[in-house]
Amino acid sequence: MFDLGDYPGMISREGAAVVHGEIYEVGRDRWRDLITTLDRYEGCAPEDPEPHEYSRRLVEARLQSGEKLKVWAYLLNEPVAGLPEIKSGDYLDWVASRRA
């Protein structure tokens, strides 16, 4: 995870990186409308100009219980060279520590 200034960006790398976040279960009846809205918000809907800043991909998530799930996540599609890395994987903690 990297600090992009006003928001974070997550990339996919080999190895076991940790990113803290939330997982939501969405009913099939609401999926299409919700994912369309989220893709537009993240700027990666089909009508958005290429290249997209993010792409939606399936990633593996591990719950606190240890259970693993495949979940949709938005991954950064841009180079991260020179950006501050958030090694803890906790963006909210990162922001709070920078303000202190």
Tens of pLDDT, residue by residue over 8-61, are 999 987 766 789 999 999 999 999 999 999 999 999 999 999 999 999 999 999
Non-local CB neighbours of 94 within 8 Å, separated by 6+ positions: 3, 8, 86, 88
Place of tokens 């006003």: 6
Cα 8 to Cα 19: distance, rounded to the nearest angstrom: 11
* pLDDT of 68 above 70: yes
Instruction: Give me the number of domains the chain comprises.
Output: 1
Contact 46, 31 (CB under 8 A): no
Segment 57-81 shows an average pLDDT of 94
Domain that holds residue 24: 2-99
pTM score, whole prediction: 0.88
Give the C-alpha distances (Å, rounded to integers) separating 61 from 1, 17, 46, 49, 52: 15, 11, 26, 29, 23
72 confidence band (pLDDT: 50, 70, 90): very high
